[in-house]
Amino acid sequence: MFSFCEDPSTLDTFQWFSCYLTNGVHLLFYQSFLVVFALLAIAAPLSLAFGFLAATASRARIAPLRWIGKGYTAMVRGIPDIVFFLFFVLVLDQGIEYVRHLVTCPDWDEPIRQGANFLVCDAARTPQGTAPQWVHETYNFGLAVFTYALVFGAFCGNVLFGAMNAVPRAQLETAAAYGMSQRQTFWRVLVPQMWIYALPGLSNIWMILIKATPLLFLLGIEDVVYWARELGGSRNSRFAYPHPDWRFWYFLALLVFYLGFTKVSEVVLGRLTRRLSRGQASAAGAAA
Amino acid sequence: MTCLEALQSYAFRSIGFGERALPQGDITICEQVVLIGSGMLWNIYLGTLALLFGFFFAVALAVAKASPRLLIRKPAEWFIFLFRGSPLFIQFFMAYEAFVLLPRIGYEFELFGVAIEAETRWFARAWLGALIVLFCNTSAYAGEIFYGALRSVPRGDLEAADAYGLSGWKKFRRITFPTTMRLAWPAYTNEAIFLFQSTALVFFSSFPAFQQRGDALYYASYFAERTFNPFIPYPIVGVYFILLVLLVIAIFGAINRRLNRHLPQDKRPRLRIRPNLIR
């Protein structure tokens, strides 16, 4: 990065650190924070969409649709979290390969489960064995994002369902009295009003989602935790930047990062709550 | 190996009794169920002790956070923010690295006539190190819950206490504390469920399993590796956790009924169970 970094062993402390913290692997470490933000940026809207669909389905007048919505949100109450996270990614991975196997190699006669092994034909391997490294990484990341969205979508579905029920009945009846159809009532009256009731629950889920991002590490993604462990481990003098075990300091940095992130979110969500309370017939709305 | 043999060999394997070697070769369902159940002992141990100690500390934190004195309030606020604002996963990693850095000192003391050699190395073991992290974590979450409940104790109750001439400790002990518990209990039940579920994270927290004495997920991942089939051990863990959660709900429900036994039937708050959130 800097011109004086060519021989780190001769530098004084400040210069040594300015070189150490800007070397190649550290830039990768900083990039891995983008992975966290990318996960949040994709998984949050996606899970909100899943939650919206689930909540709408739970209110549907067609029974099977209602069962699907209810069953999906009931996942929130059922399966323990970590087990689900570990397990579901694997199921998804094998499931995709299995379906592709059935489509691409219909005349395959060997069993797929050979004792301990899960074997599909080469054409069904996802991603292809010959694919470049970044395809593998993106695929794994995609699976992880999908799992997050599915789990947190169930949480959101629960919250949004409650929020839709919390909108005063009189509002919907008034809409009907004005001659609005079901669809119009839903989009013009119910949906705009439900957000303020959903916001406390949704901000809670957002906080939990932030704090769930280190679990990416468990799914084999090279995220912040991975790099903190990798870089913090002691380096002997064969390396350009020898240092003892510094993992504690790396994790401290991650801790501070997450604390700052949750604090900023808290402040922003507080403002949003005040903004959305305006004009509502509640204690907070009347005060504003 | 029959089921009875598996039970004899592995029921207490996780705490160091029974067969030394873990099952190998042909692994039966019985062995998996028994050994994972034996690992659950650790999850129960960690959850129960953290909850028990954490309860008292959480009450202290809540009272401190509600204190008008800045010097008492600020540390409590910071403690709660620190442990609620960061992922438990990172806390585990950090605590482990910090405990490893501790100088290795051992000293002996006598407890109930038994000489015990205590060493700082114990902090780097799951039974103490992970327990401390879980304790701090649940204290912070429960402290926030109790603080909220403490603030919503009805003013009339407190005024009535004043009118009866109660003050200080007596007022807290007889009026404020019982009402706080009554108000906080449904939320605290959810917290207890979260805590038991987050004991599953201990497996990933880099605290090593000493002599292959691990928790439920440790054995589950062992079986998943050995049999190359995750579809049996992980659901077993799931079922065990669901049973554990049902047990917690039963116990906390009984306490909830006892806390509210003076209220008329229709005014008693019901537990609303919302488990399975990650932190």
Confirm or reject contact between A252 and chain B (CB < 8 A): yes
Q: Which pLDDT band, with edges at 50, 70 and 90, does A288 fall under?
A: very low
* pLDDT at residue A117 tops 90: no
> What pLDDT was estimated at residue B113?
63
> What pLDDT was estimated at residue B53?
96
Instruction: Convert the pLDDT of each residue in B171-212 to its tens digit.
Output: 999 999 999 999 898 889 888 988 888 888 888 877 877 777
Contact residues, chain A, for B187 at CB < 8 Å: none
Contact between A82 and B81 using a beta-carbon 8 Å cutoff: no
Contact B203, B215 (CB under 8 A): yes
Tokens of B59: 């009450």
Closest partner CB to B275 (pick from A77, A82, A86): A77
> What pLDDT was estimated at residue A79?
59
> What pLDDT was estimated at residue B118?
66
Confirm or reject contact between A262 and chain B (CB < 8 A): yes
> What pLDDT was estimated at residue B273?
62
Closest partner CB to A251 (pick from B88, B97, B234): B97
| CA B87 – CA B212 distance, rounded (Å) | 27
The Cβ of residue B8 has, within 10 Å, a number of other Cβ atoms equal to 14
- In 3-state terms, what secondary structure has residue B276? coil
Tell me if the bond preceding A127 is cis, omega within 30° of 0: yes
Q: Where are the domains of chain B?
A: 3-267
The Cβ of residue B69 has, within 10 Å, a number of other Cβ atoms equal to 8
Tokens of A131: 């694919």
**Which chain B residue's Cα is nearest to A74?**
B274
Contact residues, chain A, for B86 at CB < 8 Å: 211, 255, 258-259, 262
> What pLDDT was estimated at residue A230?
81
To the nearest whole percent, how much of chain B has pLDDT over 90?
30
Mean pLDDT of chain B: 84
> What pLDDT was estimated at residue B116?
65
Instruction: Convert the pLDDT of each residue in B132-161 to its tens digit.
Output: 999 999 999 999 999 999 988 888 889 999
Contact between A87 and B230 using a beta-carbon 8 Å cutoff: yes
| CATH number of the CATH domain containing A206 | 1.10.3720.10
| CA A110 – CA A98 distance, rounded (Å) | 13
Average pLDDT for residues B67-77, to the nearest whole number? 93
Tokens of A159: 């919250």
Instruction: Convert the pLDDT of each residue in A210-241 to its tens digit.
Output: 988 888 887 778 788 888 888 877 777 777 77
Within the 114-153 window of chain A, which residues sit less than 8 Å (CB to CB) from chain B?
115-118
* pLDDT at residue B59 tops 90: yes
Nearest 5°: the CA angle A57, A58, A63 is 85
| CA A258 – CA B88 distance, rounded (Å) | 11
Contact between B276 and A232 using a beta-carbon 8 Å cutoff: no
Contact between B97 and A263 using a beta-carbon 8 Å cutoff: no
Higher pLDDT, A139 or A279: A139
Average pLDDT for residues B203-232, to the nearest whole number? 81
* pLDDT at residue B279 tops 60: no
Q: Which pLDDT band, with edges at 50, 70 and 90, does A287 fall under?
A: very low
Q: What is the ipTM of this complex?
A: 0.79
Contact between B276 and A78 using a beta-carbon 8 Å cutoff: yes
Contact between B241 and A83 using a beta-carbon 8 Å cutoff: yes
Contact between B97 and A86 using a beta-carbon 8 Å cutoff: no
Lowest mean pLDDT among A3-7, A49-53, A61-65, B227-231: A3-7
Contact between B227 and A116 using a beta-carbon 8 Å cutoff: yes
How far out from the chain centre does Cα B221 lie? Answer: 22
Higher pLDDT, A21 or B181: B181
**Which chain B residue's Cα is nearest to A264?**
B85
Contact B88, B201 (CB under 8 A): yes
Tokens of A241: 């930047």
Q: Which pLDDT band, with edges at 50, 70 and 90, does B58 fall under?
A: very high
> What pLDDT was estimated at residue B209?
73
Lowest mean pLDDT among A9-18, A138-147, A196-205, B104-113: B104-113
Q: Which structural domain, as residue segments, surrounds residue A168? A: 3-287
> What pLDDT was estimated at residue A12?
77
The CA distances from residue B28 to A112, A284, B12, B163, in Å, are 22, 60, 18, 68
> What pLDDT was estimated at residue B132?
92
| CA B4 – CA B38 distance, rounded (Å) | 14
> What pLDDT was estimated at residue B162?
92
The CA distances from residue A220 to A86, A136, A185, B106, in Å, are 10, 11, 46, 38
Q: Which pLDDT band, with edges at 50, 70 and 90, does A78 fall under?
A: low
Q: Is B172 exposed, middle or buried (0-12, 13-18, 19+ CB in 10 A)?
A: middle
Within the 73-102 window of chain A, which residues sit less than 8 Å (CB to CB) from chain B?
76-84, 86-87, 90
Query: Which fold would CATH assign to domain B3-267?
Result: MetI-like fold (1.10.3720)
Contact between A254 and B228 using a beta-carbon 8 Å cutoff: no
User: Which 8-state DSSP code applies to residue B22?
Assistant: P
Prediction pTM value: 0.82
> What pLDDT was estimated at residue A180?
93
> What pLDDT was estimated at residue A114?
60
> What pLDDT was estimated at residue B114?
65
Instruction: Convert the pLDDT of each residue in A258-283 to its tens digit.
Output: 999 999 999 999 898 888 777 665 55
Q: Which of A32, A266, A119, A67 has its CA nearest to residue B84?
A: A266
Residue in the block written with tokens 């005014």: B267
- In 3-state terms, what secondary structure has residue B49? helix
> What pLDDT was estimated at residue B115?
64
Contact residues, chain B, for A77 at CB < 8 Å: 273-276
* pLDDT at residue A55 tops 60: yes
DSSP string, chain A: --GGGG-GGG--HHHHHHHHTTSHHHHHHHHHHHHHHHHHHHHHHHHHHHHHHHHHHHT-SSHHHHHHHHHHHHHHHHS-HHHHHHHHHHHHHHHHHHHHHHHH-TT--S-SEETTEE---GGG-SS-TTS-HHHHHHHHHHHHHHHHHHHHHHHHHHHHHHHHHHS-HHHHHHHHHTT--HHHHIIIIIHHHHHHHHHHHHHHHHHHHHHHGGGGGGGT---HHHHHHHHHS-B-TTSSS-B---HHHHHHHHHHHHHHHHHHHHHHHHHHHHHHHTT-SSHHHHH-
Contact between A214 and B235 using a beta-carbon 8 Å cutoff: no
The total number of structural domains in chain A stands at 1
